[in-house]
Structures are given as structure tokens and as C-alpha cells.
A = this chain, B = another copy of it.
């Protein structure tokens, strides 16, 4: 018999998810997303032109930066701007978010425009990178709609730069039990930890599994993948609802 989760959720249940669109006045799209107590502000800013290595290609670009406010964590963490360098973890997550969003972008339809996603963690309680991806997609969708309405991007009847949706969730094995959407207290105890990024039509974009303690076997891997598929499907539905579709 296994211990129930501290917050009373079923093993395959997401934390309460809240998606607030239009949280900022300036950005083309902005979302405050909450996975329980994890709170990430996702902003999508558009600009004409693309990075130098892409100029003249006719193709657009989407990139992302992830960061955490110093007081977001249990114990205050130092600012990377003050330290003068970006840490490895920050780099890694920024790259992951960028790759995840680019999986649903049609560069041709975007034209030589860049959309920059900023995902700033205001409060951290586990799963910040998956919340960031899930929220960033909604901000991106809003930005694309906004840019098409203003004529900055080709309008409604042309192909959309968005070819689908993307969402992400963490899964892990705690005391031998696979669980969905880990808060910090579960995250630190997990033997295996996996982040899964999927498109709205159920395909994988990223699968990143790490044995924190003992290595895991194929059966455990399969259980985690199934749980991730379930969680991403739930998040996809919540994204669609938030977008009023």
C-alpha cells in the first residue's frame, strides 16, 4: 500500500491549473500560468527581422529565455545578472522551451519575423519548466493572433505560423509509484524524473528522463510515458479552453 499524496491528488491528476491571458499591457501576448503554487509569467514579444545567420532566408524565428526571480524559491537565490553569468540550468531550460515551441511553428508562414518568449518564474514549486512551456504556447498563440489582426503577419486566410499546440508536464517515480505533475516536495524525493513535451495531437516533442537515484527499467519508463501522455492531453484541453476554442 502506498502513501497518498500530500495534497490529496490522485497519482494521475494535475495540480489546479490557472491560465490568465493578457496579464501585461505591452507584450503581443502574455499569460500568467499557475500549476498549483508554481507561477510563471510568459510574455511573447514580436519584432521584425531575424538573427543574422537566418537573414534573407524568408524564414522566421522563435526563441525563449527562462529565468527565476530571486525570491521565487524557498531560500532566496542570487540574481544571474549580478553574478554576471547565466547558470547551466537556466541555459538548458531556455533552450528546451525554445525547441518545444519551434516544433509547432511554420517558419515560412511566420516570414522574417522573430517572436521572443520570456518565461519568468515568479514563484517556484516544482515543474517550472513545464508550466513555462504550457503557458508560453498560449502567449504565443495570442501574439500570433494579435500580429495577424494588425497586419504584422499575413492575415486570416493565409496559413497560420502555428501548426499545432504544445504542452508539457513532469512525471516521476516516488516510493516506487509513478506520479503526474510533481510539486517541489515530491520532486526532491523522486527516484526518476521525466519531463514530457507533446503536441496537441498526441505526438512527442521532447522526452527527458533522468535517474536521480537508481537507474530505471523499461517497464518504469513505459509507465511514465503513459502518465505523461495523459497529463499533456489534460493540459491541451485546458489551453484550448483558455483560448476560448
Contacts and interface: CB of A to CB of B under 8 A. Distances in A.
Given A25-B37, A198-B215, A120 B210 contact: no
- Report how many copies the assembly holds: 6
A41 B26 contact: no
Contacts of A203: 211, 214-217
B204 A123 contact: no
Interface on chain A toward B: helix, strand, loop, or mixed SS? Answer: mixed
A81 interface: yes
- Which bracket fits the contact residues of A? 35 or more
Interface of A: 24-27, 30, 37, 41, 43, 45, 47, 65, 67, 69-76, 79-92, 94-95, 99, 103, 116, 118, 120, 122-123, 125, 194, 198-199, 202-211, 214-218, 221, 225, 229
Interchain residue pairs A-B with the least CB separation, the first 7: A203-B215, A43-B71, A88-B91, A80-B81, A45-B76, A81-B81, A207-B209
